[in-house]
Chains A and B, each alone.
Chain A
Amino acid sequence: MSTDKLIFAVPSKGRLMEQTTEVLAKHGLTLRKTGNARGYRGAFDELPEIEVAFVSASEIASHIKSGAVHFGVTGEDLLREHIPDADAKVEFTSKLGFGHADVVIAVPDFWIDVATMADLDTMALPFRRHHGRSMRVATKYINITRRFFAANGVTDYRIVESLGATEGTPAAGTADLIVDITSTGATLKDNGLRILDDGVILRSQANLVVSNSAPWTSQTEALANQIRSRFLKS
């Protein structure tokens, strides 16, 4: 891979890939796969010098962080989770208007004494007295959770990593509350959970982003500006 090549990462499957393709087309970048139909390489008709890589959405976040790709389309939640100092490492070029999901903190609905993060903090002390341990928070967003709890002054909790069906963990008894992604809130409700009044941590959507860590040359910089101008003028 030569260093003057600009690499643009696009989600490799599902609805996210389709919507990305649509939005790129709307901004005058027609995406096509190169090689065989199941391949992981592609190109834009209008800017053939750019190399498109089809990568899973969470991998795009780590590639943006390491600088393995120059441009990427992925969720802000994944970027903020994988990149602690995202605002320094990443240029958030454009919000793309799809892939909406909120990262929220939700507690069992019957905890009617807990409506806010401050209530959660108040609850921590008697919880420890009753159970001899701190409350457990199930999530796959470990870093986002830690930062949000710290910003709200809640310290007496413990994260348990959950890679799937997080919303079921309080009922299953493996966690007491959760930090998870939701679009309508219906799944949370089905599981007897309620979002805290001040519990929306991040309103996430798909973003076009630029990696500040990628190996930039004057050539790739010029190409980057061509992409930027297509998104910034609209």
Chain B
Amino acid sequence: MTAETARQFEALEAQATRIMGVFTRAGHEAVAPAIIQPAGVFLDGIGEALRARTYVFTDQEGRELCLRPDLTVPTCRLHLERVADPATPAKYCYNGAAFRYQPADVNAAAHPREFRQAGIESIGCPDPIEAEAETLATMIAALEAASLARQALHLRFGDLALMRALLDAVDMPQRWRHRLQAQFWRPQAFRAELKRLTQDPAGLMKALPPRLVQELRAAAPGTGDAIVSAHLDAQNKETFGARSVREVTESILSVIEDSRSPPLAPSAKALIEAYVAINVPCQQAAPAVAALAKSANIDLAAPLAKFNARLDRFTAHGLDLNAATFSGEFGRSLEYYTGFVFEIGAPGQPLLSPVAGGGRYDGLMRLAGSPHDVPAVGAAIHTERLLAAIEARAK
């Protein structure tokens, strides 16, 4: 990587001052979370794509640590250290280095392994839609303060809660929903799972010992563990480790359960696939989803009303929605997002390198150590990319 020039350093510093000014005026307290973080919360909570790109090391006492790959998790941890009740409302902002491994052949200018993130987090806000609108409006104001004209930006929205509502409305066993949700982050596995549930939900049973399956099918509720234990004893299979016989039994029973359920209707599969494929101007998103719902005879009125209410609130905050698109599959990159997600692109920058992005992450605080979920929304600017976009426009 080439060394940063003094001129570039100063330009980044000046840009950060303007951005942080917007953040603090919007009521966010400036914080500087630790660069070195315990690895566990990142390794367990973040998608594998980012996990494999985190610099992990062991210190002299054998503790597993990492260089923070982003600042959202460190800010959550800082919040938990400060307050007794994690749900205590708080608004933070930061500007600091984040680190991600990049293979040698990646374009180092667009994807440096060491880069500065300037961002905001709103934790525990009682009005989620208001917090989302504020977050988006503040990010756009910050980009504008950094001299990227708001008319030039293109916005991309997604909504993981809408995806969840869709799965809830489609007729299928609850555990299939869980599985599809868990697979949503991985397009290939998601498609494979949809196909399996549509074509052959009983397929998994073929690998199990037929006699054991027979016994379990005939067993009275609650006697499964004993049957599986007896089977393991007879086969001389010793049990050890964290996973229990009960978990093995549950897993086999759910496979048997799958084989009893009717396959997922082809129309349901088509509906889910059609939703994932939606990519329209954001004001056409709700009508498009409503049309899908109507043709599949399911009710999504409540989540769609919420979706529209959010857009209205964005407009009330002075945001121009004409440059915004909605994508059904957007949100797949980071596993911790749970609801509304967005990305802001600058002209001339490749689609995969947005200058800013963020979203709702109600489950992350629990991964960071909170006893329960805490509503939270945040976003960050990739400051080097922003500077590059501004300099490219000035030329």
Chain A interface (Cβ < 8 Å from any Cβ of B): 84-85, 108-116, 119, 121-127, 130-131, 133-134, 146, 149-150, 153, 155-156, 158, 170-171, 173, 176, 192, 197
| Chain B residues within an 8 Å CB radius of A108 | 239-241, 243
Closest to B178 in A: A125
B 184-200 to A, binary, CB cutoff 8 A, 1 in contact else 0: 01101100100000000
23 chain-A/chain-B pairs, Cβ below 8 angstroms:
A108-B240, A110-B245, A112-B209, A112-B212, A112-B237, A112-B252, A113-B251, A125-B178, A125-B182, A127-B247, A130-B243, A130-B247, A131-B242, A133-B44, A134-B44, A150-B52, A153-B186, A153-B188, A155-B185, A156-B182, A173-B241, A192-B237, A197-B207
Contact of B179 among A113, A122, A133, A197 (CB under 8 A): A122
- From residue B145, how far is it (CB to closest CB) to chain A in Å? 38
| Chain A residues within an 8 Å CB radius of B207 | 115-116, 119, 197
| Chain A residues within an 8 Å CB radius of B182 | 124-125, 156
Contact of B242 among A119, A121, A176, A197 (CB under 8 A): A176
B 33-65 to A, binary, CB cutoff 8 A, 1 in contact else 0: 000000000011001100010000000000000
CA gap between A100 and B40 in the complex, in Å: 36
Chain B, interface size: which category? 35 or more
Determine whether the beta carbon of B47 is less than 8 Å from that of A155: yes
- For residue B238, CB closer than 8 A to chain A, the reply is yes
Determine whether the beta carbon of A176 is less than 8 Å from that of B43: no
Determine whether the beta carbon of A170 is less than 8 Å from that of B240: yes
CA gap between A158 and B241 in the complex, in Å: 16
| Chain A residues within an 8 Å CB radius of B209 | 112
Extra contacts besides A113-B208, A116-B207, A176-B241 (12): CB < 8 Å: A108-B243, A110-B240, A112-B208, A112-B212, A113-B255, A126-B250, A127-B243, A130-B247, A131-B242, A134-B44, A158-B44, A176-B242
- From residue B176, how far is it (CB to closest CB) to chain A in Å? 11
| Chain B residues within an 8 Å CB radius of A124 | 182
Closest to A155 in B: B48
- For residue B305, CB closer than 8 A to chain A, the reply is no
CA gap between A121 and B255 in the complex, in Å: 14
- Scan residues 46-96 of chain B and give those whose CB is less than 8 A from a CB of chain A: 47-48, 52
- B48, B204, B232, B239: residue with the most chain A Cβ atoms closer than 10 Å: B48
- For residue B103, CB closer than 8 A to chain A, the reply is yes
CA gap between A122 and B254 in the complex, in Å: 11
- For residue B248, CB closer than 8 A to chain A, the reply is yes
Contact of A155 among B105, B186, B241 (CB under 8 A): B186
| Chain B residues within an 8 Å CB radius of A111 | 243, 248
CA gap between A176 and B208 in the complex, in Å: 21
| Chain A residues within an 8 Å CB radius of B47 | 155
- Given A126-B247, A158-B44: A110 in contact with B103 (beta carbons within 8 A): no
Chain B interface (Cβ < 8 Å from any Cβ of A): 43-44, 47-48, 52, 103, 105, 178-179, 182, 185-186, 188-189, 192, 204, 207-209, 212, 228, 231-232, 237-245, 247-248, 250-252, 255
Closest to A174 in B: B241
CA gap between A25 and B204 in the complex, in Å: 52
- Given A112-B232, A153-B186, A158-B44: A171 in contact with B248 (beta carbons within 8 A): no
Determine whether the beta carbon of B43 is less than 8 Å from that of A158: yes
- Given A130-B247, A150-B48: A110 in contact with B186 (beta carbons within 8 A): no
- Given A155-B185, A155-B186: A126 in contact with B251 (beta carbons within 8 A): yes
Contact of B103 among A84, A116, A153, A173 (CB under 8 A): A84
| Chain B residues within an 8 Å CB radius of A125 | 178-179, 182
CA gap between A123 and B175 in the complex, in Å: 12
| Chain A residues within an 8 Å CB radius of B188 | 153
Determine whether the beta carbon of B247 is less than 8 Å from that of A109: no
Q: Which 10 A-B pairs have CB atoms at the shortest separation, nearest pair first?
A: A155-B48, A153-B189, A113-B251, A110-B237, A115-B207, A171-B240, A110-B239, A125-B182, A192-B238, A170-B241
CA gap between A150 and B209 in the complex, in Å: 29
Closest to B58 in A: A161
Determine whether the beta carbon of A109 is less than 8 Å from that of B250: no
Determine whether the beta carbon of A123 is less than 8 Å from that of B238: no
Determine whether the beta carbon of A109 is less than 8 Å from that of B43: no
| Chain A residues within an 8 Å CB radius of B240 | 108, 110, 170-171, 173, 192
| Chain B residues within an 8 Å CB radius of A85 | 103, 105
- Given A127-B247, A153-B188, A158-B43: A173 in contact with B242 (beta carbons within 8 A): yes
Closest to B237 in A: A110
Closest to A171 in B: B240
